[in-house]
Amino acid sequence: MAIPGVAIRGQRSLLRQIREALAGGGPAQQRLDMVVRIIARSMVAEVCSLYMRGASNDLELFATEGLDPTAVHVTRLKPGEGLVGEIMRLGRPLNLSDAPNHPAFSYRPETGEDPFHAFMGVPLLRGGRAIGVLVVQNRTERVYNDDEVEDLQIVAMVLAEMVAGSELASEGALKNVDLVPHRPERLKGAKFADGLALGVVVLHEPPVATSKLLSDDVAAEEIRLATAIASLQAQIDEMLEGQHGLVEASYEVLDTYRMFAHDRGWNRSLEDAVRNGLTAEAAVERVRSEHRARLGQARDPYLRERLHDLEDLNDRLLRHLSGDGHKARDLPPDAILIARNLGPADLLEYDRTKLKGLLLEEGSAASHAAIVARALDIPCVGRLAGLRDKVSEGDPVIVDAETGEAYLRPRPDVIKALRARLEVRQQRQAEFAKLRDTPAFTRDGHKITLLMNAGLDVDLDILGETGAEGIGLFRTEFQFMVAEEMPRFNAQTALYGRVMDAAGDMAVTFRTLDLGGDKVLPYLEAEREDNPALGWRAIRMGLDRPALLRLQLRALIAAARGRPLRIMFPLVANVDEFRAARALVDHEIAWAQRRGRAAPSRLEVGAMIEAPSLIWHLDALLPMTDFVSVGTNDLMQYLFAADRGNPRVADRYDFLSPPALRALQQIQQACAETGTPVSVCGEMAGRPLEAFVLVALGFDRLSMPPAGIGPVKQMVLACDREAARRGVSALIKSSAGSIRNEIETLARKISAI
């Protein structure tokens, strides 16, 4: 490929010939035979062979030019077996001058390949998944040059798409080939947001349409690519220079992006692919497929993280190419979104009325993406290993977030059973709706106040429907997470005003910004930390950067316009932090008054109890506060030293265990003794069995995701608090690591659940 012009013409005409051969008439086998012949001739190779992955994952020789034709459909290799199996396993090319000397070489006499020394094989990748292997061989020892490897990779990519996308796929010859996943499959994952849904797959990162693989005009395509790369680079540079919003960009993350975006290797791979006849979009997919295949297997978290950056960069580049970076995607009416993982804000880019469910390959139940899913009442199952490679856009799929499973391409009987369960669920929802105006009293007459957690505009629409008596936790950082830029004073004031208007006479507890940890903002400077959950987050950031916190307090006071105001500080770890935060509130009230603005008619300032340290200093803290709220999500994370966002450990320890419940009991008792109002606003308050325990421990204010209110109210109405208290008091003396089963038995015995 010394003369680029000739190479391009050669490559493009090769791709065209392959396309014509595949599209032509005649039996499928004949067409594949022709394809390998064309490739062999074009690459000046004595052998060209195509292996395809069968349903059992074996690789079968499908067509060959140069090897013994009787080996076709006879020679089979396991993944990892022989050089071809090795390519399949690694998902990347092998280029050898003397193949028989390679340790993975496996001799198959039926193929008659002993005289061939030079060997180059590349995987046929679709969406990062190898569906076959394409090999060329030559008799004499030689190393194929980089251009030749690149050429064969492009041919392999186009071939993969053409074979999978053409009518060949449905023909007898390819019927056992695992081109696209097609069998029903059930995957076991973890339940992130309760519910059931049936719909069709929508990929968060959709693959490029096969119809747009080959460009008609290379020069024009090169310009499109160069323009898109330049605008991507400019965008990232601009973000890095902190021109978005009031504060500097998150340097570390963006700097990595910048490094990749300007990386010559990445740019050159894209340019080469376009020069060889691919569209810019197809070039992005080709390079992405290779990175995925290469880095996806990496165990090293650093490398996996880099893959994540690259994925993001590829997505950004595709958006620049399509020129509609911010346009919301058009969804089918029953969309089930599939992603490896999602940031908390990603979900909000989709049309809520059409998004029926969410399936994630990774993630954790306590992550903020899962919290947003619960807030939006979108059933979500996560930690579904290998999910992304097992589905295609448009596949029917079931989200069973009652059991934590996903059914891919479910059989009719499974769909029928699901429909029946959906009906039961709807009946249950109707029962909860009937309870909406019934106050939540236990059977023995204790009032339990059920409140809603919120954080988004959409939450306000459903406040009335849930029967919640107020908003016990308004996560103000959500507004920041969904914004492109730092929301300014007016935008903050407007949102808080809308929340108070929607709540009317009901109280709203505004939690000040809880950023950091897994809640990172692209426009807010955050240093990379080894332990973000233990790092510079929430009130720590607020006190160190008081301008941001004061602006927010000012917006809250302005929005209250003389109405009552409740403010709560997150992750207070010692009393001095609370004192300092409270002083900022007083300062802002005085500031407003000096300007003749109305102070809130009643001001209550509270602390979240999320850091275990406070449990042993409640005697000092409680007298300073007007109320406290227990953030069990974080409290449990710190109590058990288990990162709530890390799937390996997030669910390792049970809330319903003596240490956790004793901690909660101690907090409740200290609050009762000092007469400090206390609520629980972690996710556990929205689960009937956990809520049962909280009621038993004496908590009478529970704030939860909207979907929890109906089921928890039903539990409260059926519960005898005194009996529950006696039972739970005895159980928390247990020496067991978890007392979930015992508590469940107790709750059933007294008919609470």
Rounded Cα–Cα distance for residues 508 and 528 (Å): 34
| Among Mg ion, ligand PEP, none, partner that 681 touches (CB below 5 to 8 angstroms by kind) | ligand PEP
- Which one of ligand PEP, Mg ion, none is in contact with 84 (Cβ closer than 5 to 8 A by kind)? none
Q: Which is nearer to ligand PEP, 449 or 633 (CB)?
A: 633
* Residue 25 burial (10 A CB sphere; 0-12, 13-18, 19+): exposed
Q: Which is nearer to ligand PEP, 296 or 705 (CB)?
A: 705
Contact 379, 359 (CB under 8 A): no
Residue for token digits 């005895």?
A: 730
Q: Which is nearer to Mg ion, 680 or 723 (CB)?
A: 680
- C-alpha span between 75 and 49 (Å, rounded): 11
d(CA 71, CA 77): 12
Residue 631: CB minimum distance to ligand PEP, A: 3
Strands (E), 155-288: 185-188, 190-193, 196-203
Q: Which is nearer to ligand PEP, 132 or 631 (CB)?
A: 631
Find the shortest distance in angstroms from Cβ 633 to ligand PEP. Answer: 3
The window from 28-36, 233-241, 515-523, 633-641 that contacts Mg ion (CB under 5 A) reads 633-641
Please choose, out of 148-156, 243-251, 464-472, 626-634, the segment that lies near ligand PEP by the rule CB under 6 A: 626-634
Distance in angstroms (rounded) separating the CA atoms of residues 463 and 547: 32
Q: Determine the interface stretch with ligand PEP among 78-86, 165-173, 340-348, 627-635 (rule: CB under 6 A).
A: 627-635
Per CB under 5 A, contacts with Mg ion among 340-359 are none
Residue 118: which H helix or E strand, with range?
A: strand 118-126
Tell me which stretch binds ligand PEP (CB under 6 A): 190-198, 632-640, 708-716, 721-729. Answer: 632-640
CB 606 to ligand PEP: min, Å: 13
Gap between the Cα atoms of 334 and 351, Å rounded: 11
CB 743 within 8 A of CB 734: no
Q: Which of residues 465-524 bind ligand PEP (CB under 6 A)?
A: 473, 475, 514
Q: Determine the Cα angle at 678 with ends 549 and 629, to 5°.
A: 35
- Which parts of 78-145 fold into alpha helices (H)? 82-90
Query: Is 634 a residue that touches Mg ion (CB under 5 A)?
Result: yes
Show the site string, 570-609: x = touches Mg ion by CB under 5 A, - = not: ----------------------------------------
Is position 459 an interface residue for ligand PEP (rule: CB under 6 A)? no
In the complex, the smallest distance separating the C-beta of residue 569 from ligand PEP, rounded to whole angstroms, is: 12
Given the rule CB under 6 A, which of 270-278, 502-510, 625-633, 645-653 is the region that contacts ligand PEP?
A: 625-633
| Cβ 463 to ligand PEP shortest distance, Å | 18
Please state the closest distance from residue 455 (CB atom) to Mg ion, in A: 12
Q: How far is the CB of 718 from ligand PEP (least distance, A)?
A: 26
Indicate which single residue of 127, 631, 645, 688 sits in contact with Mg ion (rule: CB under 5 A): 631
Binding residues for ligand PEP, total number by CB under 6 A: 10
* Identity of the residue, 362 or 610, whose beta carbon is nearer to Mg ion in the bound complex: 610
283 contacts: CB under 8 Å, gap ≥ 6: 225, 269, 270, 271, 273, 274
Output the smallest distance, CB 644 to ligand PEP, in A.
8
Between residue 653 and residue 682, which ones bind ligand PEP under the rule CB under 6 A?
Answer: 681-682
Distance of alpha carbon 694 from alpha carbon 702, whole angstroms: 8
Q: Where does this chain touch Mg ion (CB under 5 A) — which range of 211-219, 610-618, 653-661, 687-695?
A: 610-618
Residue selected from 75, 166, 276, 633 as contacting ligand PEP according to rule CB under 6 A: 633
Judged by beta carbon, residue 533 or residue 548, the one nearer Mg ion is: 533
Spacing of C-alpha 505 from chain mean position: 37
Site for ligand PEP in 575-614 (CB under 6 A): 610
Q: In terms of Cα–Cα distance, which of 369, 375, 378, 367 is closest to 346?
A: 369
Site size toward Mg ion (CB under 5 A) is 3
Q: Across-strand partners of 77?
A: 59
* CB neighbour class for 54 (10 Å; exposed up to 12, middle 13-18, buried from 19): middle
Q: Which two tokens stand for residue 641?
A: 């030293």
C-beta closer to Mg ion: residue 250 or 633: 633
Q: Specify the length of the chain in residues.
A: 753
Please tell me which residue in 48, 380, 681, 719 is annotated as part of the active site.
Answer: 681
Binding window for ligand PEP (CB under 6 A); candidates: 93-101, 298-306, 628-636, 669-677 = 628-636
Tell me, yes or no, if 48 is annotated catalytic. no
- Which among ligand PEP, Mg ion, none contacts residue 682 (Cβ within 5 to 8 A by kind)? ligand PEP
Residue 517 within binding range of Mg ion, rule CB under 5 A: no
When the beta carbons of 131 and 370 are compared against ligand PEP, the nearer one is 370
Evaluate whether 652 touches 602 at the Cβ level (below 8 Å).
Answer: no
Asked if 632 is part of the footprint of ligand PEP (rule: CB under 6 A), the reply reads yes
**341 to 370, contacts with ligand PEP by CB under 6 A?**
none
Q: How far is CA 120 from the centre of its chain?
A: 37
**Rounded distance between C-alpha atoms, residue 721 and residue 704, angstroms:** 20
Task: Please say if 368 is a catalytic residue.
Answer: yes
Own/partner contacts of 247-251, CB < 8 Å, gap of 24 or more, are 247/486, 247/523, 247/524, 247/525, 247/548, 248/525, 249/522, 249/523, 249/525, 250/520, 250/521, 250/522, 250/523, 250/524, 250/525, 250/526, 251/525, 251/527
For helices 218-240 and 301-322, give the axis angle rounded to 10 degrees: 120
Chain position whose Cβ is nearest to Mg ion: 634
Q: Which residues lie below 8 Å from residue 136, measured CB to CB, with a gap of 6+?
A: 39, 40, 43, 45, 47, 48, 119, 120, 121, 144, 152
Q: Which stretch binds Mg ion (CB under 5 A): 257-265, 448-456, 626-634, 638-646?
A: 626-634
Among candidate residues 368, 380, 671, 719, the one labeled active-site is 368
**Closest by alpha carbon to 582, among 611, 549, 613, 538?**
549
Distance CA(334)–CA(422), nearest Å, equals 14
* Nearest residue to ligand PEP, scored by beta-carbon proximity: 631
Q: Binding of ligand PEP at residue 60 (CB under 6 A)?
A: no
Helical (H) or strand (E) element with 664: helix 658-674
Partner from Mg ion, ligand PEP, none contacting 473, C-beta within 5 to 8 A by type? ligand PEP
By the rule CB under 6 A, 634 interacts with ligand PEP:
yes
Confirm if 22 and 166 have CB atoms less than 8 A apart: yes
> Does 643 engage in binding with ligand PEP (CB under 6 A)?
no
8 Å CB contact between 293 and 91: yes
Cα separation, 655 vs 372, in Å, equals 21
Taking the complex as a whole, the smallest distance from the CB of residue 632 to Mg ion amounts, in Å, to: 9
Q: Which is nearer to ligand PEP, 366 or 670 (CB)?
A: 366
Applying CB under 5 A, the residues found at the interface with Mg ion are: 610, 631, 634
Which residues in this chain contact ligand PEP in the complex, by CB under 6 A?
473, 475, 514, 610, 631-634, 681-682
Catalytic residue set? 368, 681
